Structure formats: C-alpha cells, structure tokens
C-alpha cells in the first residue's frame, strides 16, 4: 500500500499549492461543496481523504477525515484529523454558530456512501 502511494504522491502534489496559513490548497477539480477530488487508477477520492491515507494509512471504516483548519480545500495531512459522524455534526454546529458559513454538506454526503470509502 505504501509503495503504491509513493508512486502516486508526486502526481497528487502537482495539484497542491502551499499557502501562507500552512494549508495545502487543492488546485485540481473541486466539488461544489468545496472539497477537492482526485482520480487515480480509475478510483476517485476526496483529495483530503486521499492525503490522509497516503500519509497515515487506511481510514478505518465509518470514520471521516475532518479539517482542523476549516478549509475544505486543504489537503495538508497535519491539518486533518480522524473523526466520527457525531464529531462532524458538532463541527457543523460550531461553524454555523460562528456565522457566515453555509451549512456543511459533508455529513450528508458521508451518510450516502454506505461504505465510507469514497468520502
Ligand atoms: Zn489547512
């Protein structure tokens, strides 16, 4: 698995631009919800989930990858954290409380994917 990722990572990094706040801004295709999308060897990943797996290993089934920086387009592994659905819903409420943001769509998308693999 590691070996596979080491071959893909240079390709992945070509779509990454490091910005001032330390975020790795995804410059490739973005979903309407703001998440990056990365397709490789016929498989499509959310870019931040790919980044997590490439750097830390396989995401356990049912877990989600959260953005600690609240930048959905960020794929910096050190800005990502494993969480569960409940934590993400809490994030959504916190984001909404701070105001100005639209409702996060992530929990709904995650719920639609029964495997928890793609998202
Ligand atoms: Zn970030």
Q: Which two tokens stand for residue 115?
A: 């495997």
Q: Summarize pLDDT for 59-81 with one digit per residue, the tens.
A: 888 888 999 999 999 999 999 99
Neighbours of 53 (CB within 10 A): 15
Distance, CA 52 to ligand 1 centroid (Å)?
Answer: 13
What whole-number distance in Å separates Cα of residue 99 and Cα of residue 83? 23
Q: Using the mean position of ligand 1's atoms as its centre, give its distance from the Cα of residue 1 in Å.
A: 25
Asked if the structure places residue 65 within a domain, the reply is yes
Which CATH number belongs to the domain containing residue 105 in this structure?
Answer: 3.90.75
Q: What is the pLDDT of residues 13-47, one digit of tens each?
A: 999 999 989 999 999 999 988 999 998 878 888 99
Does 117 reside within a domain? no
- pTM above threshold 0.85: no
Q: CA-CA distances (angstroms) from residue 45 to 11, 90, 95, 101, 106? A: 14, 24, 24, 24, 14
Residue 82 maps to a domain? yes
CA of 102 to the centre of ligand 1 (A): 18
- Report CA(71)–ligand 1 centroid distance (Å): 6
CA of 78 to the centre of ligand 1 (A): 8
In sequence order, the β-bridge partners of residue 81 are 66
In a domain, 119, yes or no: no
Q: Looking at the 3D structure of the chain, how many domains does it have?
A: 1
Distance 21 CA to ligand 1 centre (A): 7
């Amino acid at each position: 698995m590691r070996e596979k990722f080491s071959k893909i990572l240079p390709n992945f990094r070509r779509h990454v631009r490091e910005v001032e706040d330390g975020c790795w801004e995804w410059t490739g295709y973005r979903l309407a919800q703001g998440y990056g999308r990365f397709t490789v060897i016929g498989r499509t990943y959310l870019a931040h989930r790919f980044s997590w797996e490439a750097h830390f290993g396989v995401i356990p089934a049912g877990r989600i990858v959260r953005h600690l920086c609240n930048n959905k387009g960020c794929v910096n592994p050190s800005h990502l954290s494993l969480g569960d659905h409940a934590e993400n819903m809490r994030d959504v409420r916190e984001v909404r409380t701070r105001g100005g943001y639209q409702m996060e769509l992530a929990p709904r998308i995650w719920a639609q994917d029964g495997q928890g693999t793609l998202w």
